[in-house]
Amino acid sequence: MNARVVFTLAAVLLAGPSFAQTKGRLNLPEFAALADKASETVTVTLDSNLLGIAARFLSNEDPEQAKAKKLVSSLSGVYVQHFTFETDYAYPKGDIDRVRKQLDAPGWSRIVEARSKKENTNVDVFLLLSGDKVQGLAVIASEPREFTIVNIVGNIDLEQLHDLEGNFSIPKLGIETAKPPASTAAPAKPK
Amino acid sequence: MPETLLMQARAGDRRAFAELVKAHQGSVFSIGLRMLNRRDVAEDLAQDVFLQLYRKLDTIESLQHLGFWLRRVAANLAIDWMRRAPYIATLPLDESADVSAPEADSDPLMSRELTRLLGELAPHPRAVMLLRYQEDRDVAEIAAMLDMPVNTVKSHIKRSLTALRGRMIGAKLIDCEEVP
Amino acid sequence: MTELENELRRLLRPVDAPAGFADRVMRSLPEHAKPAAITVLPTPRRSWMQQFGMPTALAASLLAAVLLGQFTAEQRELRAEQRGLEASRELMQALRLTSDKLDIAYQAVQGPPPSDPEENRS
């Protein structure tokens, strides 16, 4: 094979995922072998086409789904791998480190590095920034018996994303007297 | 409670249905109260739940199923109401609906702080905590009731306990040496 | 079970519903008794073949073909709808997982809450 071809091939291979894939999209391992060992598996692969389909089935009546619909309208991909195990560290740290390595690429910045020695929990949050816009999000979270890798691609509103279902997300608005919408099943109640 | 009571209620015996209501009204009302933080709204919710039960009695297979069904419907309805009107759940403590069990005041400060912190949990984690610690349901049952993966239930419990513990330590209500 | 969990169980024992609650529920129930389920069996009929002969069989075949085509189209639509619903469920699950992990990061950034200097807890 002549040197020019070899050199070109090498350049393509070394350029890694940022060459062949959408900007912001990580090359996630399939972890096929882990599914048998895991007690729980969540694998989500939604490209822009599937996101569009999914968004059509989200309800405008449900506030959480309405928020998700708004968030998703500017995304081009949502990719999640989440595994839970019955024993400690039953997953290959090497594979997770390889994903982490991709986040050394230009444009990605780690904005949070959370470590809990007590619970052996690690959470890293990375953003792909273009000017002041977030065009990619990666979250790598690991504990002894579970790990999660999240990769979201597109124009992301982080506030909207966090607001979706965090543990402490109810806004404090003070005293209100209005009641929730009356159920269609409830007639007037004698007191 | 005999299974025959359920059969009688399904056959149209209103007195039997009333007995079923009395047997479960405390739990259903308490779920509503601790999710929505107002007695009047909690009573409305509980009434809705029992009305739905009356309509769906034919689908209830056993007393055990009844218990599961009531808690499932109550929790999901409360989550739905909280989402539609999130301000319901944010009354300040001095106007709160006295949501703690009366005999729980072994440490009134801790009880008050825990009540306040529970009231800050988002709908799903709060429902998980109630089904776990009020209703003593296991993780698999809670997952089925809330249509949630088991791992998410475990995660909600773990995160909520960690966050509650952290705030209680910060408020010096428990020692930081406490280890789960 | 930790002290915190024990405290939670004590705190969260169910409280009594308001006095008269069951009576109010019973008063709000619909007046009419729930009808017993009645099953109506179809009366036996002579088959079309027996009544009208061969041409009807041909018409029936054509009708079956049209209905089958319609059925196939409906099945395709149903599958597409199921796929869409499945995608929307996966999407919500993915977003909730992400939000959950961001919550941990958010709490780590927030740090432990400051203690209230006015509280005398020593």
Q: What is the pLDDT of residues B26-58, one digit of tens each?
A: 999 999 999 988 888 899 999 999 999 999 999
Residue A72 contacts C, CB cutoff 8 Å: yes
Q: Do the domain assignments include residue B45?
A: yes
Q: Do C102 and A139 touch (CB under 8 A)?
A: yes
For residues A18-28, average pLDDT? 72
CA distance C104 to chain A (A): 7
Task: Provide the token pair at C93.
Answer: 């699950």
C90 pLDDT above the threshold of 50: yes
Q: Do the domain assignments include residue B177?
A: no
Phi, psi of B90 (to 5 degrees): -120, 30
* pLDDT score of B16: 94
A28: left (phi over 0), alpha (psi -120 to 50) or beta: beta
B135 pLDDT above the threshold of 50: yes
Please give the tally of structural domains in chain B.
1
* pLDDT score of A119: 67
Residue A172: name the closest of C115, B116, B43 by CA.
B116
**pLDDT above 90: percentage of residues in chain A:** 22
For residues A41-58, average pLDDT? 89
Q: How would residue B70 be classed by pLDDT, with cut points 50, 70 and 90?
A: very high
For residues B62-77, average pLDDT? 94
* pLDDT score of B142: 93
Q: What is the pLDDT of residues A94-129, one digit of tens each?
A: 888 889 999 998 889 998 888 877 667 888 999 998
Q: What is the CATH number of the domain that holds B26?
A: 1.10.1740.10
Structural domain boundaries, residue B45: 3-170
Task: Provide the token pair at C23.
Answer: 């009576």
Q: Where are the domains of chain A?
A: 19-76+106-163
Q: Which of B33, B133, B171 has the CB atom closest to C115's CB atom?
A: B171
At C61, which amino acid appears?
Answer: S
Residue A167 contacts C, CB cutoff 8 Å: yes
Q: What is chain B's percent helix, strand, coil content, to nearest 5?
A: 75, 0, 25
Q: Do the domain assignments include residue B31?
A: yes
- How far is it, in rounded angstroms, from Cα A111 to Cα A144? 23
Q: What is the pLDDT of residues C2-20, one digit of tens each?
A: 888 988 998 899 999 999 9
Q: Do the domain assignments include residue B163?
A: yes
Identify the chains in contact with C, defined as 3+ C-beta pairs within 8 A: A, B
A88 pLDDT above the threshold of 70: yes
* pLDDT score of B82: 81
Least confident of A87-91, A119-123, C74-78: C74-78
Q: How many CB atoms lie within 10 A of CB A120?
A: 13
- How far is it, in rounded angstroms, from Cα B145 to Cα B135? 12
| Cα pseudo-dihedral B57, B58, B59, B61, rounded to 10 | 90
- How far is it, in rounded angstroms, from Cα A109 to Cα A129? 8
Helices (H) and strands (E) in chain A, counts: 7, 6
Q: Do B171 and C119 touch (CB under 8 A)?
A: yes
For residues B67-87, average pLDDT? 86
Chain A environment of B40 (Cβ under 8 Å): 179
Q: How would residue B86 be classed by pLDDT, with cut points 50, 70 and 90?
A: low
Q: Do the domain assignments include residue B146?
A: yes
| Cα pseudo-dihedral B51, B55, B56, B61, rounded to 10 | 90
Q: Do the domain assignments include residue B88?
A: yes
Q: Do A167 and B160 touch (CB under 8 A)?
A: yes
Q: Which of C8, C33, C116 has the CB atom closest to B114's CB atom?
A: C8
Residue A129 contacts C, CB cutoff 8 Å: no
**Is the model more confident about C59 or about B141?**
B141
Q: Do the domain assignments include residue B178?
A: no
State the residue for tokens 């709204």: B41
Task: Determine the Cα angle at B66 with ends B34 and C96, to 5°.
Answer: 50
CA distance A9 to chain C (A): 36
